[in-house]
Amino acid sequence: MNLAVCLLCILLVPFATAGLALIHQGLGRSRSAAHAMLATLCAVAATAIVFVLIGSAWAGYTSGLAHTFQFVGKKWDWLGAEPFFAADLRPSLLRSPYPALVLALQMFAVGLASLIPISAGSDRWRLAAICASSALFAGLIFPLFAHWVWGSGWLARLSPLFGLPAFADTGGAAVLQVVGGLTALSIAWILGPRQGKYADDTAAAIPGHNIVLVLFGCLLALIGWIGLESAASMLFYGLNSVQIIVIAINAMLCASGGCLAAVLITQLRYRKPDASLSANGWIAGLVAGSAGCGLTSPLATLFIGIVAGALITILVETLELKLFIDDPGGAISVHLGAGLWGLIAFGLFGPTTGSRAALLLTQFVGISTLLGVIFPLVHLGNLLLNRLVPFRVDADGDWQGMDIRELGAGAYPEFVIHADEFVPR
């Protein structure tokens, strides 16, 4: 592994964080714009601190220390057992830079994943609750699943356990996107819809306030995504630095396919392309492609991206109109929906030396674990947290906007767009 290339890729990951932050902020209302960006910073900060001090010990790394147990004659590796507070970081650097690189990548990656629920809770999720939920995410949820997949946990060891290929997630489609998407679903359910979103079984359209920022965020996210996928592939799946070229090409193909599919579908359905759905198509393509980045062929990758882009246009509408889930940024559709599709698609199109059915089976087992273990854990954790730190802002704050309510000042004080924000009811 080329240390300099890997480090450079890790340092690109914050671009994806910045990109997602801009997308989420732009898709929310102007009256909560500053709050959304501050929430992003706070979530990234909280996750970095909690992950380095606690989560990294449980996430562990390949060939690191782990908690195991015996069941039906098989050894199950279920949790990392590294020292807390990253106490072994400096001594381990003398032996190998690998643990430090894994820690650095996961520290940035968990921050990125923690932004996904912020989008779903936009305009009504309190700052303190965002920090608490992000800390739970970085301290328990993410490390648990990251260890199973990236830290030689039981999902990565399906071959010695059951004679199956290891669950593949080279770019974080499951570990970051689906886990983040499941958290977003949990948050959207707990918070409920924004005031005025649903009345008489019809959904009111609440458009995003700055589509230029959203589209710029998409371009920024691409850079970070390539860095994230490259670093994860090198650290956890042994890809060499030359294969980064394929990862970059595939990432671009996936995003392009997703975006153009969404443009075409919205053009056909609404007679004009929808910019916010097309931006979501771009990100959905990146998310779906990250399951097997660098390992799938360019043609298969393009197909995966196109399906992801088409899928989210349907999912966004279904969630909003049929299930009454108010997800202002479309995070659940993009990260959960496209992430699950990417995992299945890797089973269909990923390279395999054994049978295709075995690879598909492995991916299904991973998906089943996400739905059967991670989601109940996430939802239970957030329900308990909601009792301690109420998630939802009060009714006045809902009407006033999160900027005025929680920060005391709006993001755009010179532009009074919504007069009702400043007029007493």
Partner 1 sequence: MRLTGYLLMVSGWLLAVAALLLLEGTRQRIAFVLAALLVQLLGLGLVAYRYRSLQRGPE
Residues binding partner 1 (CB under 8 A)? 72, 74, 158, 161-162, 164, 189, 192-199, 323-326, 355, 357-358, 360-361, 364-365, 367-369, 371-373, 375-376, 379-380, 395, 398
Question: Closest separation between CB of residue 164 and partner 1, Å?
Answer: 8
Q: Which CB atom, from 3 or from 380, has the smaller least distance to partner 1?
A: 380
Alpha-carbon radius of gyration of the chain: 21
Of the two residues 392 and 418, which places its CB atom closer to partner 1 in the complex? 392
Tokens of 212: 């230029």
- The 10 Å Cβ neighbour count of residue 80 is 24
Q: Which of 83, 372 has the CB closer to partner 1?
A: 372
In the block, tokens 């700055």 appear at 210
Residue 418's Cβ-side half-sphere holds a number of Cα atoms within 13 Å equal to 16
Q: Which one, 323 or 416, has the nearer CB to partner 1?
A: 323
Closest approach, Cβ 208 to partner 1, in A, equals 19
CA 302-305-306 angle, 5° bins: 85
Which of 157, 134, 181 has the alpha carbon at shortest distance from 78? 157
Residues 115 and 20: their CA atoms lie apart, in Å, by 7
Cβ of residue 204: shortest distance to partner 1, in angstroms?
Answer: 10
Burial of 360 (0-12, 13-18, 19+ CB in 10 A): middle
Is 2 or 355 the residue whose CB approaches partner 1 more closely? 355
The H or E element spanning position 49 is helix 33-50
Q: How far is the CB of 344 from partner 1 (least distance, A)?
A: 10
Contact in structure between 168 and 346 (CB atoms under 8 Å): yes
Between 8 and 164, name the residue whose CB sits nearer to partner 1: 164
- Identify which of residues 32 and 369 has a Cβ nearer to partner 1 in the complex: 369
Taking the complex as a whole, the smallest distance from the CB of residue 14 to partner 1 amounts, in Å, to 33
Q: How far is the CB of 259 from partner 1 (least distance, A)?
A: 28
Residues 107, 327: Cα–Cα separation, whole Å = 26
Nearer Cβ to partner 1 (90/425): 425
DSSP 81-116: -PPGGGTTHHHHHHH-SHHHHHHHHHHHHHHHHHHH
Nearer to partner 1, 195 or 297 (CB): 195
CA dihedral sign of residues 417, 18, 52, 136:
positive
Which is closer to partner 1, CB of 8 or CB of 361?
361
- For 164, residues 6+ apart whose C-beta sits below 8 A from its C-beta are 158, 358, 361, 362, 365
CB of 195 to partner 1, least distance (A): 5
Q: How far is the CB of 48 from partner 1 (least distance, A)?
A: 31
Task: Tell me which DSSP letter residue 72 carries.
Answer: T
Q: Least Å distance between CB 25 and partner 1?
A: 22
Q: CA 157 to CA 180: how far, in whole Å? A: 23
What kind and span of H or E run contains 369? helix 356-369
* In the complex, least distance from residue 364 CB atom to partner 1, rounded to whole angstroms: 5
Please give the backbone phi and psi of residue 195, each rounded to the nearest 5 degrees, phi first.
-60, 130
Alpha-helix residue ranges (DSSP H) falling in 238-297? 244-270, 275-289
- Measured from the CB atom, is 45 or 383 closer to partner 1? 383
Q: How far is the CB of 326 from partner 1 (least distance, A)?
A: 7
In angstroms, what CA-CA distances link 416 with 37, 86, 421? 20, 48, 9
